[in-house]
Amino acid sequence: MLWVVLAVVVVLASVLVLLRQSSGLLALLWHDVVHQRLLNFFTGLSRPQRILKAVQKNATKGNPESVIAAIDHYCRHSEWAMNVGDEKGLILDSVVTEVNPSTALELGTYCGYSTVRIARLLSPGTKLITLEFNPDYAAIARQIIAYAGLQDKVILVEGPSGDLIPKMKQQHGIKSFDFVFLDHWKDRYVPDTKLLEECGLLRKGSVLLADNVICPGTPEYLKYVRNDPRYESRYFKSNLEYTKVEDGLEKSVFLG
């Protein structure tokens, strides 16, 4: 019976491998369901734990660029992961550099890949607050951020974004954010953007950058920022991390 199950899995996996580059949903199904579960079973480790091991084996401690390169190489050649990735990462880099924020917020830390990308570009004295709901992800992210030598530039807070955003002013002394990177649960993009507005955490000129607006997609968020006159939005076309499936980032400037 076990061999029959394994045979079915192999056949399904083979079909998905052929189609994953051309279909966003199939790509995510393959990477996040089939391949990940197979590797979890055979390695006894979670995907974040495997990424951490790749960093510890291949990156130079205290060197953020080498940590980014190690994760990109692992995720492109060994196992896909839901980082912003190398292609879209260059867009993220350019926006962070352009904004040069004195206050920055990331929604969705995951393993800390984009956290490292953002934090390494921040000016001295600037800190990035990053929110992560999953404590297992947060534990891995802390280790990767520390391995990159950026622990003094990052404040990682665990918990639901909807509970944490209203506490930003009181607990972290934040008046407003110059830059916000949205890369958490896609159904939280609109509610959390509205919460940032309601809490007075966006000022005139604040920049929101949202990932995965095409794949898996955030149609309600795009509708919101593109039709609200308080935002000026621009779409940056790219590819879903480590694939040829179309995806992109939406940059929205809050006009007040």
Q: Which listed residue (86, 106, 192, 211) is catalytic?
A: 211
- Catalytic site includes residue 241: yes
Which range is least confidently modeled, 17-26, 97-106, 175-184, 238-247?
Answer: 17-26
The span from the CA of 3 to the CA of 9, in Å, is 10
Identify the band that residue 195 occupies on the pLDDT scale cut at 50, 70 and 90.
Answer: very high
Over residues 35-41, mean pLDDT: 64
- Catalytic site includes residue 212: yes
Sign of the alpha-carbon dihedral angle for 7, 10, 13, 19: negative
Residue range of the domain that includes 117: 86-254
Q: Is there a domain that residue 7 lies in?
A: no
User: What is the model's pTM?
Assistant: 0.87
Q: Is there a domain that residue 72 lies in?
A: no
Q: What is the pLDDT of residues 123-181, one digit of tens each?
A: 999 999 999 999 999 999 999 999 999 999 999 999 999 999 999 999 999 999 999 99
Q: Is 50's pLDDT higher than 70? A: yes
- Catalytic site includes residue 79: no
- Catalytic site includes residue 247: no
Q: Is 10's pLDDT higher than 60? A: no
Identify the band that residue 183 occupies on the pLDDT scale cut at 50, 70 and 90.
Answer: very high
- Catalytic site includes residue 100: no
Q: Is there a domain that residue 68 lies in?
A: no
Q: Is there a domain that residue 195 lies in?
A: yes
Q: Is there a domain that residue 1 lies in?
A: no
Q: Is 12's pLDDT higher than 90? A: no
Binding residues for S-adenosyl-L-methionine: 84, 114, 132, 183
Q: Which listed residue (86, 153, 192, 212) is catalytic?
A: 212
pLDDT of residue 9: 46
Over residues 89-118, mean pLDDT: 98
Considering its fold, how many domains does the chain have in total?
A: 1
Which amino acid does the sequence have at 28? L
The span from the CA of 175 to the CA of 128, in Å, is 14
Q: Which listed residue (72, 192, 241, 247) is catalytic?
A: 241
Binding residues for Mg(2+): 183, 211-212
Q: Which listed residue (83, 86, 106, 186) is catalytic?
A: 186
**36: number of Cβ within 10 Å:** 17
Over residues 224-246, mean pLDDT: 96
CATH number at residue 117: 3.40.50.150
pLDDT of residue 4: 42
